[in-house]
């Protein structure tokens, strides 16, 4: 749920990076933090990690301009993908306005992607949000691994598994190389702000 901070004349919008363990959610946000102008982003906050496993969440605020005199501040969050952190994932989703589902292109992760999407659907339902109507984009990450000779899923297979009924935009990416990271953010931001702005008018 977007919040208006009147004192700061700011609209705060929450976008959550969701997906199975190790799909590259944190890597996306770290890349954004490293490459974006520091006047645009606030400090990245990482709450609790072990190696490259997020145990609670990452947080990065990004200012993306103004609408009708209101500054728009996008708050990016990542969830911990590991199965055992189900309760934390649900908590991080509270008040979400838009979702990036980061799927792992590794063929061995095929079932994990599907399970994580189901988990997302259920957690959104617990907040009375329908996955078919919330702003959502897919990111098919780790496409670079094809060159390393590692078996990866084709985009068609991932579309069939995850996006055959939702039919939302999907981006191929390599978050470690920074490919597709901004494109993904741009699209989810555009979609989310459109929906939030519509609600404000009503
Ligand atoms: N080859 C390759 N490796 C990647 C890519 N994105 C992330 N990784 C690696 O995958 C591992 C996990 O990445 P994270 O970004 O920590 O994954 P996560 O989704 O945040 O994982 P959890 O916090 O456990 O849910 C790290 O070693 C990353 O360097 C990518 O595009 N290509
Ligand atoms: Mg993480």
Domain range list for the chain: 3-197
82 Cβ closer than 6 Å to some ligand 1 atom? yes
155 Cβ closer than 6 Å to some ligand 1 atom? no
Going residue by residue through the chain (202 aa), what tens digit of pLDDT does each one get?
778 887 888 899 999 999 999 999 999 999 999 999 888 888 888 887 788 888 888 899 899 888 878 889 999 999 999 998 999 999 999 999 999 999 999 999 999 999 999 999 999 999 999 999 999 999 999 999 999 999 999 999 999 999 999 999 999 999 999 999 999 999 999 999 999 988 876 6
Q: Which ligand is nearest to the CA of 105?
A: 1
Q: How high is the pLDDT of residue 52?
A: 84
Q: Which ligand is nearest to the CA of 18?
A: 1
SS3 for the chain is CCEEECCCCEEEEEEEEECCCCCCHHHHHHHHHHHCCCCCECCCEEEEEECCEEEEEEEEEEEEEEECCEEEEEEEEECCCCHHHHHHHHHHHCCCCEEEEEEECEHHHHHHHHHHHHHHHHHHHHCCCCCCCCCEEEEEECHHHHCCCCCECCHHHHHHHHCCCCCCCEEECECCCCECHHHHHHHHHHHHHHHHHHHHHC
Rounded CA-CA distance 170/187 in Å is 10
64 Cβ closer than 6 Å to some ligand 1 atom? no
145 Cβ closer than 6 Å to some ligand 1 atom? yes
21 Cβ closer than 6 Å to some ligand 1 atom? yes
Q: What is the pTM (predicted TM-score) of this model?
A: 0.96
Q: Which CATH superfamily is domain 3-197 in?
A: P-loop containing nucleotide triphosphate hydrolases (3.40.50.300)
Mutation probe of ligand 1 site: the residue of 20, 27, 59, 104 with most atoms within 8 A of C-beta: 27
Q: How many residues does the chain have?
A: 202
């Amino acid at each position: 749920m977007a919040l208006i901070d009147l004192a700061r004349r700011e609209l705060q919008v929450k976008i959550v990076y969701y997906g199975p363990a190790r799909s590259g959610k944190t890597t996306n946000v770290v890349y954004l933090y490293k490459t974006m102008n520091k006047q645009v982003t606030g400090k990245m906050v990482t709450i609790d990690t072990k190696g490259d496993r997020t145990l609670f969440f990452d947080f990065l605020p990004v200012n993306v301009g103004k609408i009708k005199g209101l500054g728009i501040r996008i708050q990016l969050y990542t969830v911990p993908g590991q199965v055992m952190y189900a309760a934390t994932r649900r908590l991080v989703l509270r008040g979400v306005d838009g979702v990036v589902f980061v799927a792992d292109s590794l063929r061995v992760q095929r079932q994990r992607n599907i399970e994580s999407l189901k988990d997302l659907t259920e957690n959104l339902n617990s907040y009375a949000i329908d996955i078919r109507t919330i702003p959502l984009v897919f990111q098919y990450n780790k496409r670079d691994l094809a060159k390393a000779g590692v078996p990866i899923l084709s985009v068609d297979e991932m579309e069939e598994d995850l996006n055959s009924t939702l039919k939302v935009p999907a981006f191929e990416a390599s978050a470690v190389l920074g490919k597709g990271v901004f494109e993904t953010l741009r699209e989810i931001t555009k979609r989310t702000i459109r929906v939030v702005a519509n609600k404000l008018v009503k």
